[in-house]
Amino acid sequence: MTKAPKTTQHSEPSADRRHVGTHWGFYSHDGLDGAIRSMAGDPDPVQFGGELPADRLAPCRILRPAVRRSFLEKGPGHRAGRRGAEAFVEVSWDEALELVAGEIRRVRDEHGNGAIFSGSYGWSSAGRFHHAQSQLKRFFNVNGGSVRSVQSYSYAAGEIILPHVIGSTDGLITGHSPWSQIVGHADLIVMFGGTPLRNAQVNAGGVSRHETRQGLLDCKEAGAHFINVGPVRDDAAGELDAQWMALRPGTDAALLLAIAHVLIQEDHYDAGFIGRYTVGFETLRDYLFGNVDGVIKDVAWAAGITGLEAQDILTLARTMASRKTFIMMAWALQRADHGEQAYSAAIAVASLLGRIGLPGGGFGFGYASVSGIGQPASAVKWPSLPQGQNAISDYIPVARIADMLLSPGAEYDHDGKKRIYPDIRLIYWAGGNPFHHHQDLNRLVEAWQKPETIIVHEHWWNAHARHADIVLPASTFLERDDLVASGRDGFLGYSTRTTAPPADVFSDHEILRRVAAKLGTEAAFTGGWSESEWLEKLYADAQANAASGDISLPDFSTFRNVGLVEVESQNADKPFLAAFRADPVAHPLHTPSGLIELSSELIAGFDYVDCPGHPAWVEPVEWLGGKLAALYPLHLLSCQPHDKLHSQWDHAAPSRRTKSGGRQPVRIHPDDAAARGLAQGEVVTISNARGACLAVVAITDAVMPGVVQLATGAWFDPADPSTPGSLELNGNPNVLTPDRGTSRLTQGPSPNSCLVEISRFIGTPPQVRAYRPPDLVPDPRLNDAHGKECP
């Protein structure tokens, strides 16, 4: 049967037929004044996206290639000061490209491709062709290969623990129970970490319609009761009337273990489900009942850890057993010390409740962590840039980058393997910002002094560009055409540029094409296609993928004109794990047993003290119940920012409006503010042994006592970049967060396990300078024509 593709037509004037696809949604524009507007048809559009173009040419925009001064004068590895503290010299494109190609050639010849790191983690911009990492990976694959990274900062621990427990990352990344299978089915939705709608504004590939808010409201309308378990009340939207159970950060596993204990103790669990669909129950039960360590994981025990009342935990367990319960858990919980335990414990509780695979029951991770979770998957596999083969097999877990740079040759554990950190001489990065995403930034700055050469493509003179040797100006999503689609959504969009890039600014593809030309690999890199031919080719790939599922997509020029095609989705009527539930023999999970592993013999065999085979309470290094809390009594949570994506467009108006006096606000409970004599709007220093930053007090009882919240995203702005660990001025939480792997098993990032103290800043706080470009020194060797362009 051939399904006619559904194409969305929007109701705006016909001249206004162009779209631009972003991580925040699709916007329409007329290609004339550069302005973009939220698209009709999106029920919950993100307004802030429309405001970004106004700051496209802000003073911090990188307009020409630039090279760190002593690198240019004396060569790679030379430093007059520290990386991040030196002036830059603007150079011609040809000189920059010669330098880049020369460095790749030199490092390859002297040390081999295994000394080049192109992990280049980051969200870059939406778009299948101009996806900076894909371009970079394709580039290195035709140039001998490079060392990569695996996992993501988003859900590194989840990505590894889930395949051990349920055989895949479904229910974490994609494959969740769709809203249609929750709405009207679930009586009780227990949300660990809430469902903060600010996070559901974005999606890595793009978004055509924001449906999370409506999904949750529909559940409520149909009679579901919500409980928000977590340290922050407004993680649950007010309209949900959620009950708030404020627990200490990092203690969800203990709560869930106690719930499991109650369910077994009171015989409120589904023994039939456990017998048919799981292995390892006895091992878990022995642990819960203290047969292993003498500690019974009962409600009194969990009360002591979580800060909740024992009676409330008991009530929660009994309510979950008596009602059709769906468990939602934010991704944030596993970005913490031993973050995998909360995830495996949630699956254990859902298994005991016995409703996995049925409408309204079971569990899912990240329902509001990004947009599109709970939307049925696209029936068509959308195309992506073919990257080719990497001749280098070496990789690191993504969040171990500073460890790698600081300890080449050192051994580490990862998912049952012993691995060795490579010795990296050259780093090439495009489309990510490690000075945003990594933890313990003062340590990262030290690690960043190690390589001989660091090459970066960026839009802005942010800390990432400032800490590079060679900086190449890349065009933004507003300045190039692309195909935009998301694996979580059934649309494919044609993104038309709203304006041309500045004269000396090129796309990542064009920059890499020029470097490839210098290296003699241009044809292999481009495949002989121009950028516009690539877009047609990728669309042809989409048509072929669609055709294999009997779906026909319009021809390319129709698609370009319409701007957005949408295909029917699949599995809209199937709860997550429905097939397994229906027949576990015919549809086994990809675990060793084919069943849910409540205890994994494989993990137990790795013998990791920080990750046993079954869900367990493994005390975090930093939490409110630990020894360090005597010194640093506040738990810092660094959530995602409301009016931007990570560090992107932090200089632009929507982000600027969220600041107070130009700095990031830190949310603190009235009792904690009073105990420190802090008033609303005052500038404070947040500090611990790793570093200190300034922020502005925002008093609210939406955070529980003992917890403070500082969103990520403020551009790293050390007061004195030439002094290690100097005060950060802008409110970047990552000068405070620990750079510690979640466990030997998963080696993920653990920013949410972070203790701090806060005190009033005495004196006049230094001004934030992050949004001014660094010193750009004119190059005396350049011809007059270019010299005149230099500021």
Ligand X SMILES: Nc1nc2c(c(=O)[nH]1)N[C@H]1C(S)=C(S)[C@@H](COP(=O)(O)OP(=O)(O)OC[C@H]3O[C@@H](n4cnc5c(=O)[nH]c(N)nc54)[C@H](O)[C@@H]3O)O[C@H]1N2
Residues in touch with ligand X (CB under 6 A): 121-125, 130, 132, 153-154, 192-194, 196, 198-199, 201-202, 229-232, 235, 249-250, 252, 330-333, 335-336, 366, 369-370, 430-433, 436-437, 457-460, 462, 464, 474, 508, 637-642, 645-648, 712, 733-734, 737, 751-752
Residue 331 contact partner, candidates ligand X, Mo ion, none, CB within 5 to 8 A by sort of partner: ligand X
Q: Which does 458 bind (CB under 5 to 8 A by kind): ligand X, Mo ion, none?
A: ligand X
Phi-psi region of 51 (alpha: psi -120 to 50; beta: other; left: phi over 0): alpha
> Considering beta carbons, is residue 357 or 751 the nearer one to ligand X?
751
Nearer Cβ to ligand X (551/645):
645
Q: What angle do CA 226, 230, 235 make, to 5 degrees?
A: 65
- Find the shortest distance in angstroms from Cβ 496 to ligand X: 16
- Catalytic annotation present for 534: no
Q: How far apart are CA 448 and CA 450, in angstroms?
A: 5
Q: Of 286, 328, 344, 299, which Cα lies nearest the Cα of 598?
A: 344
Query: Which residue pairs, CB below 8 angstroms and at least 24 apart, start in 543-552?
Result: 545/380, 545/381, 545/382, 545/383, 546/5, 546/380, 549/379, 549/380, 550/1, 550/2, 550/3, 551/2, 551/3, 551/5, 551/379, 551/380, 552/2, 552/3, 552/4, 552/5
d(CA 341, CA 612): 9
**Rounded CA gap, 572 and 570, in Å?**
5
772 contacts: CB under 8 Å, gap ≥ 6: 59, 60, 461
Return d(Cα 689, Cα 254) in angstroms, integer.
27
| CB closer to ligand X out of 5 and 194 | 194
Taking the complex as a whole, the smallest distance from the CB of residue 155 to Mo ion amounts, in Å, to 7
Instruction: Rank residues 124 and 344 by Cβ distance to ligand X and give the closer one.
Output: 124
- With CB atoms as reference, the residue minimizing the distance to Mo ion is 154
**458 vs 779, which CB is nearer to ligand X?**
458
> Smallest gap, in angstroms, from Cβ of residue 645 to ligand X?
4
Cα angle: 557, vertex 25, 545; to 5 degrees: 45
> How big, in percent rounded to 5, are the helix, strand and coil portions of the chain?
30, 20, 50
Q: Out of 27, 123, 460, 715, which one is annotated catalytic?
A: 123
Question: Is 686 in a helix, a strand, or coil?
Answer: strand
The three-point CA angle 38-43-46 to 5° equals 40
- Shortest distance, position 437 Cβ to Mo ion, whole Å: 8
For the record, the structure tokens of 557 come out as 């020029």
- In the complex, minimum distance from the CB of residue 685 to ligand X, in angstroms, rounded to a whole number: 18
3-state secondary structure of 254: helix
Per the CB < 8 A criterion, the answer to whether 259 and 349 are in contact is yes
Specify whether 121 is catalytic.
yes
Q: Which two tokens stand for residue 306?
A: 């979580």
- Strand order across the beta sheet in which 470-473 lies: 116-117, 426-430, 453-458, 470-473, 66-68, 88-90, 776-777
d(CA 646, CA 659): 15
> Tokens in use for 165?
């427990």
Closer by beta carbon to Mo ion, 453 or else 737: 737
Q: What is the closest distance, in whole angstroms, from the C-beta atom of residue 80 to ligand X in the complex?
A: 25
Give least dist CB 586 to ligand X, A: 34
d(CA 271, CA 254) in angstroms, rounded, equals 22
Nearest CB to ligand X, comparing residues 664 and 685 = 664
- Please report, as ranges, the residues that interact with Mo ion according to CB under 5 A: 154
For residue 172, the minimal CB distance to Mo ion (Å) is: 12
Shortest reach from residue 152's CB to Mo ion, in Å: 6
**How far is 228 from 243, CA to CA, in rounded Å?**
6
Binding partner selected for residue 734 from Mo ion, ligand X, none, CB under the kind-specific 5 to 8 Å limit: ligand X
Q: Residue 647 has which token pair?
A: 């560090």
Instruction: State the binding partner of 63 from Mo ion, ligand X, none, CB within 5 to 8 A by kind.
Output: none
| CA dist., res. 749 & res. 444, Å (int) | 13
**Residue 102 φ/ψ, nearest 5 degrees:** -60, -40
- Considering the complex, state which of residue 302 and residue 370 has its C-beta at the smaller distance from ligand X: 370
Q: Please list, in sequence order, all residues whose beta carbon lies within 8 angstroms of the beta carbon of residue 547, skipping any fewer than 6 positions away.
A: none
Shortest Å distance, C-beta 365 to ligand X: 9
Given ligand X, Mo ion, none, residue 640, with its beta carbon under 5 to 8 Å by kind, binds ligand X
Eight-state DSSP code of residue 147? B
- Helices 310-322 and 299-306: crossing angle, nearest 10°? 120
Per annotation, catalytic residue among 24, 27, 93, 121: 121
Active site members: 121, 123
